[in-house]
Amino acid sequence: MVPNRPSRRRFLAAAAIGAVSVLASACGVFTGTSDGPQSSGGPVTLEFWTINLKEGYTPYIEGAISRYEKQHPGVTVKWVDIPDFEQTQSKLLAAISGGATPDVVNMTPFILPKFAATNTVYPLDELTGDVQAMAADYVPGLWDAGVIGGKAYAVPFYGSVSALIYNTELFEKAGLDPAKPPANWDEVFAAAKRIHEKTGASGFVQTLDDFNDAGNPSDILAGQAGVPLLSADGKKAAFATPEAAAHLQQYVDGVTAGWIDRASVNGGVMDGAKILAQGKTGMVFLGPWILRWLKDNADAETYAKFKVAAHPAGAGGAANGFLQHFAIPRASKNPKQALDFARYFSTTTLELAKQAPVLPGAAAVAKDPYFQATEETKILVGQEVKFYWPKHPAVAEMFAALRSEFQSALLGKKPAEQALQDAATRWDELIAAGQ
């Protein structure tokens, strides 16, 4: 008698179901990631992630780490540098999914709201009882960029404030006084038209990319036109106004006529710097940190033509800024020690600022006499800095939509009012959807 055997088809079906079940549980789709264990006694190793600081800043970083390790016997800091901020995002996601996160991570305000909303980074009040006292230690605008929903999630590292960097030779050729650079946006537009008319070069580059001190749409709307991006309750987009449309129309006219460089439409922050270095535009609006790049990439004669001035005043009332800050992931094994290290590291930025002009996050460092020595460092600490973008988990998607609509307007595919209205509609959808 032949025993009853399962048919091959049944066997395969059962195997397939089994495989799906095993894979579904193994891949963690429905289980998520676990919180890391908390601090324990004994030797501590902190993993510390920075963004693109290995090249040129290694002695500074390693020196600062070494000093911390000497001051804190038993603590070892493992430094990992990620070459760019987009990689930080994907690497951090992979690390969190794999349960092997760094203890201190250098983040940008573009990703912090998402990590805060998903509870994957610590609110600082869970790690220390003196958050209010901590806040007083930092430059207010930089500290505020890490406060989401009333809770602080990040320690400011360093920031950058937009400044006006201009080509004095093109100013002279256009009959403009290089000693009197444009002080507001009407003057910027007038100077740009004149530069283009007299020299053929574009008046300025103002890219729409995410790197905020290059002047992305949030700066154009909120900083320059003075139009708030969100309603007072934060539940609606508020930028689709006639004032904003009129200001955007200036950009449309400028790109069409050529007095605003066309690279503004689809270029990135470094495209603006490159065009300035080539002597093909009169002005860019970048942080003074770009001076180091310009010095390295332009000959001495060309570099001598560049001058720095305060960011033109806009209706928003403060210079637009960008910053890097430190957050402590939930999965950190030593979160309190990590916060201590982050706070320590934020006080080391004078050394960094001496290599590239950046605004230190720590208020005491920003008051150092070093920053009163040159025009570019004076501009860094002398301007009020503000971060205009909404601290919403979908901020990256909101800006992608806004940038796309801006591009449509600048390329003449849509009237400025329509572009702003369409962007506002998309923002409302994203805000309504929450995370």
What residues line the site for other proteins (CB under 8 A)? 20, 23-24, 27, 29-33, 86, 89-90, 93, 96-97, 114-115, 118-120, 209, 261-263, 265-268, 271, 275, 278, 280, 393-394, 396-397, 400, 403-405, 407-408, 410-411, 413, 435
Q: Which is nearer to other proteins, 361 or 393 (CB)?
A: 393
Q: How far is the CB of 398 from other proteins (least distance, A)?
A: 10
Q: How far is the CB of 30 from other proteins (least distance, A)?
A: 6
Q: Which is nearer to other proteins, 335 or 357 (CB)?
A: 335
Q: What are the phi and psi torsion angles at 374 (to 5°)? A: -130, 165
Q: How far is the CB of 266 from other proteins (least distance, A)?
A: 4
Q: Which is nearer to other proteins, 262 or 343 (CB)?
A: 262
Q: How far is the CB of 94 from other proteins (least distance, A)?
A: 9
* Four-residue CA torsion sign, 90, 91, 92, 98: positive
Q: Which is nearer to other proteins, 30 or 73 (CB)?
A: 30
Q: Which is nearer to other proteins, 265 or 363 (CB)?
A: 265
DSSP 260-309: B-THHHH--HHHHHHHHHTT-EEEE---TTHHHHHHHHS-HHHHTTEEEE
The DSSP bridge partners found for residue 359 are 159
- Distance between CA atoms of residues 248 and 417, nearest Å: 9
Q: How far is the CB of 253 from other proteins (least distance, A)?
A: 17
Among candidates 280, 254, 303, 302, which has minimal Cα distance to 199? 280
DSSP 307-361: EEEEPPB-TT-SEEEEEEEEE-BTT-SSHHHHHHHHHHHHT-HHHHHHHS--EES
- Residue with tokens 């404030």, as numbered in its chain: 161
Q: Which is nearer to other proteins, 340 or 405 (CB)?
A: 405
Q: Which is nearer to other proteins, 24 or 100 (CB)?
A: 24
Q: Which is nearer to other proteins, 94 or 373 (CB)?
A: 94
Q: How far is the CB of 202 from other proteins (least distance, A)?
A: 9
- Distance between CA atoms of residues 91 and 47, nearest Å: 14
Q: How far is the CB of 2 from other proteins (least distance, A)?
A: 17
Q: How far is residue 361 CA from its own chain's centroid?
A: 14
Q: How far is the CB of 334 from other proteins (least distance, A)?
A: 21
- Distance between CA atoms of residues 374 and 63, nearest Å: 26
- Distance between CA atoms of residues 280 and 271, nearest Å: 11
Q: How far is the CB of 345 from other proteins (least distance, A)?
A: 25
Cα torsion 23, 26, 29, 31 to 10°: value is 140
Please state the three-class secondary structure of 55-92 as a single string: HHHHHHHHHHHHHHHHHCCCEEEEEEEECCHHHHHHHH
- Distance between CA atoms of residues 61 and 402, nearest Å: 36
Counting Cβ atoms within 10 Å, is residue 197 exposed (0-12), middle (13-18) or buried (19+)? middle
- Distance between CA atoms of residues 180 and 348, nearest Å: 35
- Distance between CA atoms of residues 163 and 177, nearest Å: 18
Q: Which is nearer to other proteins, 65 or 245 (CB)?
A: 245
How many CA atoms lie within 13 Å of 146's alpha carbon, on the beta-carbon side? 31
Q: Which is nearer to other proteins, 76 or 435 (CB)?
A: 435
Q: How far is the CB of 86 from other proteins (least distance, A)?
A: 7
